[in-house]
Structure formats: structure tokens, C-alpha cells
Structure 1
Amino acid sequence: MKIKAIEMYGYKLSYAHGEYVMSGGRAATHQDSTLVRIITDSGLEGWGETATLSGTYLPTFCGSTRASIEELAPALIGEDPRNINHINRLMNGRLLGQYNAKSAIDTACWDIFGRSVGLPISTLLGGVQQEQFPLYEAVPLASPDAMAEYVTSRGAAGVRRFQLKVGNDPHEDAERVREVMNAAEEDMIVIADSNGGWSLQSGIIAVRLMDDLDIYVEQPCRETADCAIVKSMTHLPLVMDESVVTSADLYRAKYEAKAGSINIKLGRVGGITGAVRMRDQAQDLGIDFCIEDMWGGDVISAAVAHVAASSSPESLMHASFFNDWTNEHVAGYQPRSLNGMGSAPTGPGLGIEVDLSVLGEPLASFR
């Protein structure tokens, strides 16, 4: 089997709850998403998706992602998409980093691999370890009352895991978190996520103001070294995210920052292959993790579902289905959450079918 063509599509994913707001004035009503379609000479095809939170979340943005795909795709024509390690080796030999672009291609190759053998990706990853797994939702940065109301409303829909967006003034952030905790039910897990928005001093102030609360603190500062200093000032458990890209970063997260859990985003580590590698390392290190991505729709949600379902239940904190957060659906709003829980599709490959009619013409095509 050989790759005959690669097509790239773009579409906008609007936030289902109005405006998505993070620290430092980062706010948007929608984000651009990029889909990759790999077509083989056997007639099989696979899909991958990648999206960013503008250009200030990680050192990537929609334009760089699409330019990177244009650079990578021609080098893959004629290759066997099922030889995924070789595909990743070719991509890494072509471009340093650019994991967000590589993620979409990697996922599409896994989709083809699964379809070629008639098995879901979760089976190829070692099998489903949990038929259902908890999902979390992010709470956009807003007034304390509005954030508490969001948690109450989504809690009524069955969601039990929440990631509160903080990272501005530490005193105001502490007020937001306390208001949410007053409204939260006993079985809810709450994470205060700065997205690296606090300075070192602000992070120290914030955790000291919240040290008595039953919460997690996520990525208080941009650099792991600063997060380690903040962690030394608090008893609150630490979650690391944006600064963990490589295996070396993962070790630093545990042994330097004293983090007990990490967020693994497919687009940050190069797709399903990179996410599974880091997940397995985290399991071996006794680190809990969340499986998710930066943004996305049905295709990203399906990829996340397969990695999450094949993860150890003792290590997986939760996952995200971004197609619950967004309005547009290219695969019939599949996979679908139920009462705050997710599950992996059971069909071959990703287990979903992308509707070409909703996408229009490709942005670029390579043959």
C-alpha cells in the first residue's frame, strides 16, 4: 500500500459557549482547524485533524501548521502509511519540531492502518482498558459568579471534572476559584489552570492564597523551572502541560517540578504516536495524565478517545471531547459523550466517517 495523494482542508470551529477566554487577554469565539486526508493506491483513506489556540498558546499557529503540512506532504507520497514509525522518521528528517502539523498526518496514518486490518485504533494500541472514561470541560476566565454558574450548569449535565481558566491577577483568581469551590459538588475535581499566565511572583501569591482548597494547580508559569519554585511554596498538587514536549521534559516535570500529573496534547507531541509514547512513559513513572489536544472537532475527539480508552484506568485522570465544546461537526458529531463520560468508536481506524460535502474544496493537494 502506498500514499497516492494528500489533501489539506480548513474550517472554522466556533466555541459552543460564546467566547473562550484564557489568561493574558487570550480570547476567541472560534479557532481555525486543519484536516488532512491521506488517499492510498488501494482505495483506503485516512483522516487527521489539528488545531491551535491562536498563536500565543504554544509556539505554533494555523499559518505555520498549514505551511508545515505543505512542506511535509510531498516527501510522503509513495510511502506506506501503515509504516508509521518510518513516516514519523521522514517527517522529523524534513522539519524540526512542528509537531502540530505532524499530528494530523500521524493520525491519518493510524486511521488507514486500522481500516486496513479492520480494527479500531484502540485495539492496535494494545486494547481497550476502559469502555468509558471521564471527560473534563474548561471554564473560561470570567467573573467569579459566571464561572461558578458554568460549573453548576455543566454539572447538571453530568460533567464532574473542570479546568478553571486563571492566570491574571492572583487575588482575583483566588476569588474565582473560591467561588467555584463553594458551588462545586463533593465529587467534582477542579483544576486551576493558569496556562503559564502567572509570573513567578504572581504564581507564588496565587498558590498561597488557595493553599487550603481541595484543587489542583496547572502550569502556573510558562517555564518548568518557575513552576518548580511555585510548587515548593504550596501543598497543592501540580499538573504540568505546555512545557512538557519531550521525554526529558516529562522527567523534569516529575523530579524537578514535583508534578504528579501532566496533560498530553496530541498536537503538542506529534499525534497518536507521540501521545502513546509519553502516556506509557508517564504510566511507568507513576504520573497521572489527561489525554486531549489544543482545540478541534470530531476527528481530534476520535483520536483522543482511542488513546484514552487504551490507557490504564488507574493513570488516566480524564480526557476531552472538543466536539462537545464546538458547534461544527464534520463526522456527524461522533464520537458523542454521555453524562460527562466518553468512549472510543468501535469501527475500524478512527471509527468515524468524515463528510466531504461539508468541507468544500481542499486548500492544497499533493500527488
Structure 2
Amino acid sequence: MKIAAIEVFGYQLTYAHGEYVMSGGRAAQSQASTLVRIRTDDGQEGWGESSTLGGTYLPAFAEGIRAGIQVMAPALLGLDPRNLSVIHQRMNALLLDQQGAKSAIDIACWDLLGKAAGLPIAMLTGGIAQADFPLYEAVPLAAPEAMAEFVRLRSLSGINRFQLKVGNDPFEDALRTRRVIEACPADAVIVADANGGWNLQAAMKAVSEMAGLNVLVEQPCRDTADCALVQRMSSLPLSMDESVTNAAELYRAKYEANACSVNIKLARVGGISGAIRMRDLAQDLGMTICIEDVWGGDVTSAAVAHVAASTRPDALLHASFFNDWTREHVAGYQPRSVQGRGKAPMAPGLGIAVDAGALDAPLFQVAG
């Protein structure tokens, strides 16, 4: 099996609940997503997806994702997509970092590997450790009562895990957190996620105001070292996200910042390959893990589902299905959550069928 062509498609993903708001005024009603289809010389095809959350969440943006793929794609023609090690060696020889672009290609290669093996990806990434798993939903930053009402409404769908957006005024953020906790049952899992939005002083004030609440604090500051300083002042458990980009940063998160949990996003670590490597390290370190991506639709949700399903139940805090958060569906709204829980599709590869006919013409194609 050899890569014969790589096609890149673009489409918009509209947020299902109006406007997605994070700290620092970062907000959007829709996001651009990039789909990759890899065609092989024996007539097979694999799909991958990568979507940034605007251009200010991570050092990545939609046009950069597409440009990165265009640079790497010619060098991948003729390679066996099932040989992920060689695929990544070739991509890394051409571009430093650019993990979002590499992630879309990586996911498509895993889709092809699973199809060739006749197995779902989860069976190839450690085996299916859990038939289903808990999902969380993000609560956009808003007035405290509005965030509490969002939680009450989404709880009707069976969701019992929420990541509320904070990272602005620390006193208002503490009030937001209290109102959300009051709106949830006692066994709910609540994460107050600043997305690195607090400076050091604001973060220290926020964790002081939240002391005693049943909540995890996620990525209070942008840098791991600053998060470590904040954690020394806090009695709340810490989860890390944006600054954990490799194994060294994962060790720093645990042993310098005293984090007990880590959020692993596929596009931040180069796709499924990077996610399972980081996942296995985090499990060995005794940390809990959130498995997700930066943003995305059906293809992203399927990729996340396979990594989550092959994660040990005691280690998986929760995952996210972004196709529950967005209106557009390229694979028939599969996989789909049920009462706040998700499953990995059991057909070979990603286990979903992308409707290429519903997409616009490719943005570009690279073929041999």
C-alpha cells in the first residue's frame, strides 16, 4: 500500500450554542476546519481532521495548517501510510513542530492502518479498555447566572462533567465557579479552565477565592513555571493543558507544578500517535487524563473516541465529542454521544463514513 494522492478540504464548523467565549476576549461563532483524504494505490482512502480554535488559542491557525500540509504532502507520496514511524520521520524532516498539520495526516494514516488490519483504531492503540466513557462539555465564559443556566440545560442531556471558562477577573471567576457548582449535582466533575488567561497575581487571587470548592483548576497561567508558583499557593487540584506539548513538559507539569491531571489534545501533539504516547506516559505517572482535540467535527470526534476507549478507566477523567458542540456533520453525526457518554466506532479504522460529496471541491491536491 502506497500513498498515491493527498487531498485537502476546508469547511466551517458552527458552534451549536451561539458564541464560544474564553478568557481575554477570545470568542467565535464558527471555526475553520481542515479535512485530509489520503488515497492509496490500491484504492483505499483514509480521513483526518485538524481545526484550530482561532489563531490566539495556540500558535497555530487554519491557513497555517493547510500550508503545512501542502509543504509535507509531496514528500509523503509513495510511502506506506501504515508505517507511521516513517511518515512522522519524513514530516519532521521537513517541518519543525507544526503539530496541527501533522495531526490531520497522522489520523488519516491511522484510518488506513485500521482498515488494512480490519480492526478499529482502538484495538491498535492498546485495546478497548472501556466500552464507553464519560464526556464533558465546555461552558462559555459569561455572567455567573448565565453559566449556571447553561449547565442546568445541558445536564438534561445526561452531561455531568463541565469545563467552565474562567481567566478574567479572579473574583468574578470565583463567583462563576460557585454558581456552576451550585447548579450541578454533588457528584459532578467541574473544571475551572483559565486557558492561561490569568497573570500570576490574578491566578493567585482566584485560587484563594476558590479554596474549598470541589473543582479542578486548569492551566491558570500560560507557562508551566507560573502555574507551579500558583499551585504552591493553592489547595485545589491542578490540571495542565496548553503548555504540555511533549514528554519533558509532562514531567514538568507533574514534578514542578504538582499537577494531578493533563489535557491531551491530538493536534497539539501530532495526532493519534502523539496522543497515545503522551497518554501512556501520563498513565504511568499516575495522572488522570482528558482526551480531546483543539476543535473539530465528526472525524475529530472519532479519532478522540478511539484514544479514549483504549485509555484505562481509572486514568481517563473524561473526553469530548466536538460534534456535539458543532452543527455541521460530514459523517452523519457519528460517533454520537448518549446521555453524556461516548463510544468508539467498531468498524475498521476510524469506523465512520465521510460523505465527500457533501464537501466543496478540494482546496488543493497533491498526487504522484
Shift of 1:126: 2.2
What is the identity percentage for the equivalent residue pairs of Structure 1 and Structure 2?
A: 65
**Structure 2 partner of 1:98:** 98
**Structure 2 partner of 1:341:** 341
Shift of 1:353: 0.5
Counterpart code for 2:55 = G
* Structure 1 unaligned residues grouped into runs of 5+: none
Matches within 5 A, 1:196-211: 196-211=196-211
What is the CA–CA distance in structure 1 between the aligned matches of 2:125 and 2:271, rounded to whole Å?
13
What is the CA–CA distance in structure 1 between the aligned matches of 2:359 and 2:200, rounded to whole Å?
44
What is the CA–CA distance in structure 1 between the aligned matches of 2:82 and 2:190, rounded to whole Å?
40
**Structure 1 partner of 2:86:** 86
Counterpart code for 2:46 = G
What is the CA–CA distance in structure 2 between the aligned matches of 1:293 and 1:84, rounded to whole Å?
20
**Structure 1 partner of 2:263:** 263
**Structure 1 partner of 2:301:** 301
**Structure 1 partner of 2:172:** 172
**Structure 1 partner of 2:213:** 213
What is the CA–CA distance in structure 1 between the aligned matches of 2:176 and 2:290, rounded to whole Å?
23
SS at match of 2:304: helix
**Structure 1 partner of 2:112:** 112
Structure 1 range deviating more: 123-132 or 190-199: 123-132
What is the CA–CA distance in structure 1 between the aligned matches of 2:127 and 2:286, rounded to whole Å?
20
**Structure 1 partner of 2:13:** 13
SS at match of 2:178: helix
Counterpart code for 2:264 = I
What is the CA–CA distance in structure 1 between the aligned matches of 2:153 and 2:186, rounded to whole Å?
15
What is the CA–CA distance in structure 2 between the aligned matches of 1:231 and 1:184, rounded to whole Å?
25
What is the CA–CA distance in structure 2 between the aligned matches of 1:35 and 1:241, rounded to whole Å?
24
* Structure 2 unaligned residues grouped into runs of 5+: none
**Structure 2 partner of 1:314:** 314
What is the CA–CA distance in structure 2 between the aligned matches of 1:104 and 1:307, rounded to whole Å?
15
**Structure 2 partner of 1:133:** 133
Counterpart code for 2:232 = S
Equivalent residue pairs, number = 367
**Structure 2 partner of 1:68:** 68
Measured against aligned partners, the alpha-carbon deviations of 1:309-346 in whole angstroms (never above 9, x if no partner) come to 00100100000000000000000000000000000000
Measured against aligned partners, the alpha-carbon deviations of 1:135-154 in whole angstroms (never above 9, x if no partner) come to 00000000101100011111
Measured against aligned partners, the alpha-carbon deviations of 1:234-287 in whole angstroms (never above 9, x if no partner) come to 110000000000100000000000000000000000000000000000011111
Structure 1 range deviating more: 250-259 or 180-189: 180-189
Structure-1-length-normalised TM-score:
0.99
CA RMSD, aligned part only?
Answer: 0.5
Q: Which runs of 4+ in 1 moved over 4 A?
A: none
**Structure 1 partner of 2:43:** 43
Counterpart code for 1:223 = D
What is the CA–CA distance in structure 1 between the aligned matches of 2:117 and 2:245, rounded to whole Å?
31
What is the CA–CA distance in structure 1 between the aligned matches of 2:111 and 2:184, rounded to whole Å?
39
What is the CA–CA distance in structure 2 between the aligned matches of 1:121 and 1:315, rounded to whole Å?
19
Shift of 1:88: 0.6
What is the CA–CA distance in structure 1 between the aligned matches of 2:18 and 2:344, rounded to whole Å?
28
Is residue 327 of structure 1 aligned with residue 319 of structure 2?
no
Shift of 1:183: 1.2
What is the CA–CA distance in structure 1 between the aligned matches of 2:180 and 2:328, rounded to whole Å?
29
Shift of 1:125: 1.1
SS at match of 1:294: coil
What is the CA–CA distance in structure 2 between the aligned matches of 1:339 and 1:172, rounded to whole Å?
31
**Structure 2 partner of 1:158:** 158
